[in-house]
Chains A and B, each alone.
Chain A
Amino acid sequence: MTKYIVRRIVIALLLILAIAVIVFVMLRIAIPGDPAEILAGDRASPQLVAQIRANLGLDRSVPEQLWIFLTHALTGDLGRSVRFNLPVFDLIIGAFPYTAVLAFGSVTVGTTIGLTVGTITAIKRHTWVDHIAMVLVVFFYSVPTFWMGLMLILIFAVGLRVLPVQGTGSWQNFVLPIATLSLGQTALIARLTRANMIETLNAAYIQTGRSKGLSERRIILMHALRNTLIPIITIVGLSIGGLLGGAVITESIFGIPGVGRLAIDAILDRDYPMVQGTVLLVAGAFVFMNLVVDVLYVYVDPRIRYD
């Protein structure tokens, strides 16, 4: 197992390196606009653009720039953001806690409620509880994030005045964004849990358990639920990995200075060092969560083995 994890980490690092290089090259070809021109603005003379380009080190050849980027990145120096003129590393570290709160908060809430709703609806299959819950779940799932966020703001902040619209000043500020993100998560997990639970509850070995006189509660918790965990862990892992890269829309609607806004602004401003930095984070988060998922498989389902 340790050997497996070590090798996966090595592969993960190679993967991140590959992504960094691909993005680095992609940014410099085929995407119109370069940071010097954007920084210089509309009125800038070609000389000014050239000067800014030189100040940013963009007058060097692409392989040379790549070499500088990679060698510096190895020492933990991701360069300075063109827009902020601050170290990329510091900016990401500053933004990450907000993103982590949103990611783990919404996944925790969404998974907890989703598992509960999914289990209950699977047991109460084809009753009115099941039907109403499933319609609600699908309704929430079908509402786009930006729409859900704005609706929650209008209802709870503008209408009822019980929660703030935007900002990060207190815990109340995180209630609406986490709710926004977790509604979709809840729906996904609930549907998945219900589907797998029904499948498992009907499976012969569960029927056998029943015939042996095991209590229904014990059957659901010990056997059925555990068997539904494989696809759920997969989805939760992907969700966390995705959310750690920043929830662009939610962050921008609720004015949260997380990684998502940092990344999207960087792309729009062609802030190359910042784009590269956020790409490393996004890639790292995904690869790490995937590794966690694969390791968890082994503990959840002993039939899966890595040597």
Chain B
Amino acid sequence: MFSRRKSRNLGILLAALVLSTVLGAFAQASTETAGKGGKMVVADPASNGSLDPFVASWHDGWVMYAIYSTLFVQDKDLNYQGFLADTWEAAPDGKSLTIHLIHNAKFTDGTPVDGAAVKWNLDKYADKDTGATAGADLVGLLTSTTVDPNDPYTITLNLNADYAPLYYELAALEIVSPTAYQKEGKDNFGTAPVGAGPFELEKLTPNSDILMKRNPDFDWAPKSLYSDPGPVGLDELDVNFLDEDQTVLAALQTGELTAAGIPAANLTDVENDPNITVSKGALQEIRYVGFNTSKAPWDNVKLRQAFAYATDRDEVNQIAYNGLATPIYQPLPPTIWGNNPALDANSYHFDPDKAKQMLDDLGYKDVDGDGMRETPDGKPWDVPLAVPEGDEYAHMAQALQGEWNNVGIPVQINTMSVDALKALTQTGKHDLFLLYYGYGDPSILTYFFAPDRKGGSNRAWFSSDELTALLTKADSDLNQTTRYQTITQLSQYVIDQSPWIFLENPPSLTGVRKELKNWSILPNQTFLFWNSYIDSSGS
């Protein structure tokens, strides 16, 4: 039987193919680990990008923080402390910053972290041809970096303007080994990174995991954060890229993961698990609704305020975050320096009657008696709200829709990808949009309200001379006290003008297995694990 013989051959061929692919897959499997320090496995919802900080837009908290070191770090009070920087002094005019580096740091290729190495990094970040996302603000700001001829560990940054967020910027810049970068080149450094961090890369499997091992020479952990300067307690750190929340949760429960973020909906499941501790905090992020203030009728501040009064943040919090978020009433959340609790009293709190009254006064009345208001000229009204994809935003949008419906505002939810939403806001043809931002410094507001950012990140198309002056003043004020006052002023201005409805400061829930000892999480959600170890005794 000709056909049968053929089909059996095919069977063998298939079997061989399956076998060879199975073997191929297993050949890439990670190696088994043992040792006193243990292996910490964490989950990251985003898949990885390049590990080259000059190329990546992806600065993963886990991987970048483990492989590289930075000049400064933020402590638990959100103040800047030295890491590679030992001491530093700013010139009185703010036009230069001299940094004395620690002497004992060296890259994992053995080369020292000296003034020349740091200068090479800063110059590369500040070069516009690099196109680096990190340090983009240094382009045009940092005119030059000089190494002290008498002290190879002292450098001076020369700036052409006073720049208040300078420490924030510098704390975000990963310092790489110039020797290794020049050897590997732009194309290969992303898979063979060399930094001066507590870990070094062991194995990189794109989209799967990044396995790192302890850097045995590392003993320069910042004193402000760690009691033991190093080397780290853990043998290995494995960052797994898992995008399904429920998988992450299950893997945390089985112990496949040591630590992972927990969705608000699943908090009770994890809290009931005796093997897991949950750390609750808040992200340096907010969720807000923006108006396109360049388009009628959203150019009317009264109408924007009416929407703000119609918004019940406590209900939004319940529905989208199980009550774990913090409702906010100003543009900066409590987790970002510059937030002023006193401002909340001067903002719009849920008051549906006031909202109804304001809408009545503006002429938005229910003419046909269907419970929904019509426009002042009697035409049907439908308020489009652009919403990013995802449960969190869908829930928020539906809560808002319900609340606004209650005061007679008809709402049409348009769900789209975040990128499509951002592209839409750049056209200026949009209406309302639900969005987020995350940052660590109040200078972020400049990106949202600068006049030259309309069509870009100024998605509300909102600016005024008064606001611009306040933003410029805040960004160039090197005095913390007066800068804070300026930020309070500009926050109040944004509240009054209401281009955004501030909604929530979302929670950050981290589940950690009890086997992991000696860890903590800072208010800015930095996970301090360099002194941690896995207790394998089973207690």
Q: Are any A and B Cβ atoms less than 8 Å apart in their complex?
A: yes
The one of B14, B47, B191 that contacts A104, using a Cβ cutoff of 8 Å: B14
The residues of B that contact A256 with a CB separation of less than 8 Å are 208
Q: Give A254 to B246 CA distance when docked, in angstroms.
A: 10
Closest to B253 in A: A158
Give the contact-size bracket for chain A: 35 or more
Residue A39, interface by CB 8 Å: yes
Nearest CB in chain A: distance from B522 CB, A:
23
Closest to A83 in B: B49
B50 near A85 with CB under 8 A, answer: yes
The residues of A that contact B57 with a CB separation of less than 8 Å are 38-41
Residue B55, interface by CB 8 Å: yes
Closest to B140 in A: A47
The residues of B that contact A100 with a CB separation of less than 8 Å are 17-18, 21
Closest to B46 in A: A265
Given contacts A97-B25, A270-B419, A299-B3, contact A262 B207 (CB under 8 A): yes
Q: Give A257 to B48 CA distance when docked, in angstroms.
A: 11
A255 near B208 with CB under 8 A, answer: yes
Residue B150, interface by CB 8 Å: no
Residue B256, interface by CB 8 Å: yes
The residues of B that contact A174 with a CB separation of less than 8 Å are 22, 25
Give the A-B contact count at a CB cut-off of 8 A: 178
Given contacts A33-B420, A261-B47, A299-B2, contact A42 B447 (CB under 8 A): yes
Residue A43, interface by CB 8 Å: yes
Q: Which segment, of B129-137, B318-326, B329-337, faces chain A?
A: B129-137
Interface residues of A: mostly helix, strand, loop or mixed? helix
Given contacts A32-B423, A38-B419, A91-B206, contact A43 B136 (CB under 8 A): yes
Nearest CB in chain A: distance from B206 CB, A:
6
B208 near A97 with CB under 8 A, answer: no
The residues of A that contact B187 with a CB separation of less than 8 Å are 80, 85
The residues of A that contact B208 with a CB separation of less than 8 Å are 168, 255-257
A300 near B25 with CB under 8 A, answer: no
A300 near B47 with CB under 8 A, answer: no
Residue A12, interface by CB 8 Å: no
With A83-B47, A166-B247 known, 16 other A-B pairs at CB within 8 A are A33-B419, A33-B420, A40-B133, A42-B457, A44-B136, A48-B131, A85-B187, A95-B207, A97-B24, A101-B22, A146-B244, A158-B253, A166-B250, A268-B419, A299-B2, A299-B6
Binding site for B on A (CB under 8 A): 32-33, 37-48, 51-52, 54-55, 80, 83-86, 91, 94-98, 100-101, 104-105, 108, 146, 150, 153-154, 157-158, 161, 164-171, 174, 226, 252-257, 261-262, 265, 268, 270, 296, 299-300, 302
Q: List 19 A-B contacts (CB under 8 A).
A: A32-B419, A37-B419, A37-B422, A40-B57, A43-B136, A44-B133, A51-B131, A85-B56, A86-B50, A97-B21, A97-B28, A100-B18, A108-B18, A157-B250, A166-B240, A168-B28, A171-B26, A253-B247, A257-B241
Q: Give the 4 A-B CB pairs with smallest separation, nearest first.
A: A33-B419, A257-B208, A32-B423, A85-B50
